[in-house]
């Protein structure tokens, strides 16, 4: 299996660090000024997820279906519907940035082309899952070396690195003040379970996007 080449989405650098409540206030102000402007981040995330789907398709990636205790019972190959996305110019999606692709015609796709996201779709959770999926998949399938000397199971170590370093800001932003200790957080969930849940949520979004749907 190849390595995902799509990069994670970087954190926006604010002059003053903002928490979730402040970001929601900014979103609400923008919505009042220009109702359609708040759709752009969602359109951006659909574009990024579609880029990820196309990249996964190119490396013959399959999404596992898990049964009890996480046992893999089947898998589904990632395959983007070329019929559904016939007006999206998929070759340009693969090679372009969102700003290069998102012209007036492409913007209309979301309003006149029948591409609607699920009510309640939120930017920050989508970014977190997107980033976590890429980090976790590449580290688990690549040449990851445990700098602790191999004293911890690989999936657990990778999950801790993602939560404590690579995606630390994203988790803190969405935790709404809750923290976690060395092993369990306040809700009794290990870092590995939290990371794997985000991976699974992202996998569900990937399969939906392949079919022209964009869930929250």
Instruction: Give tens-digit pLDDT for 179-209.
Output: 433 334 445 578 899 999 999 999 999 999 9
Q: Is residue 116 part of a domain?
A: yes
End-to-end CA distance of the chain: 28
pLDDT tens for 72-100 read: 788 899 999 999 999 999 999 999 999 99
pLDDT at 19: 57
Q: Is residue 51 part of a domain?
A: yes
Query: Among 105-114, 124-133, 144-153, whose mean pLDDT is lowest?
Result: 144-153
pLDDT at 32: 54
Domain hosting 169: range is: 20-210
Cα–Cα distance list, 27 to 40, 108, 122 (Å): 11, 22, 11
Q: Is residue 197 part of a domain?
A: yes
Counting the structural domains of the chain, the total is 1
pTM assigned to the model: 0.81
Largest CA distance in the chain: 55
Q: Is residue 29 part of a domain?
A: yes
Quick one: 79 exposed, middle or buried, by C-beta within 10 A (0-12, 13-18, 19+)?
middle
Q: Is residue 152 part of a domain?
A: yes
Higher pLDDT, 111 or 184: 111
pLDDT at 115: 78
Residue 149's pLDDT band (cuts 50, 70, 90):
low
Average pLDDT, the chain: 81
pLDDT at 144: 75
What is the Cα–Cα distance from 127 to 42, expressed in whole angstroms?
10
Q: Is residue 3 part of a domain?
A: no
Q: Is residue 10 part of a domain?
A: no
Q: Is residue 9 part of a domain?
A: no
């Amino acid at each position: 299996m190849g390595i995902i080449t799509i990069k994670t989405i970087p954190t926006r650098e604010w002059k003053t660090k903002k928490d979730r409540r402040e970001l929601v206030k900014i979103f609400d102000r923008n919505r009042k000024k220009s109702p359609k402007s708040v759709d752009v981040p969602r359109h951006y995330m659909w574009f990024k997820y579609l880029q990820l789907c196309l990249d996964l398709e190119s490396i013959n990636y399959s999404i596992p279906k898990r049964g009890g205790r996480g046992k893999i019972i089947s898998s589904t190959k990632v395959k983007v519907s070329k019929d559904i996305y016939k007006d999206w110019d998929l070759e340009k999606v693969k090679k372009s940035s969102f700003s290069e692709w998102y012209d007036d015609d492409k913007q209309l796709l979301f309003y006149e082309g029948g591409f609607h996201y699920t009510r309640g779709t939120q930017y920050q959770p989508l970014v977190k899952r997107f980033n976590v999926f890429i980090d976790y998949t590449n580290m688990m399938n690549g040449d990851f070396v445990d700098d602790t000397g191999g004293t911890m199971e690989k999936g657990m170590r990778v999950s801790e690195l993602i939560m404590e370093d690579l995606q630390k800001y994203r988790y803190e932003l969405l935790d709404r003040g809750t923290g976690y200790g060395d092993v369990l957080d306040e809700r009794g969930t290990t870092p590995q379970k939290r990371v794997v849940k985000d991976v699974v949520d992202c996998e569900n979004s990937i399969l939906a996007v392949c079919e022209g749907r964009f869930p929250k």
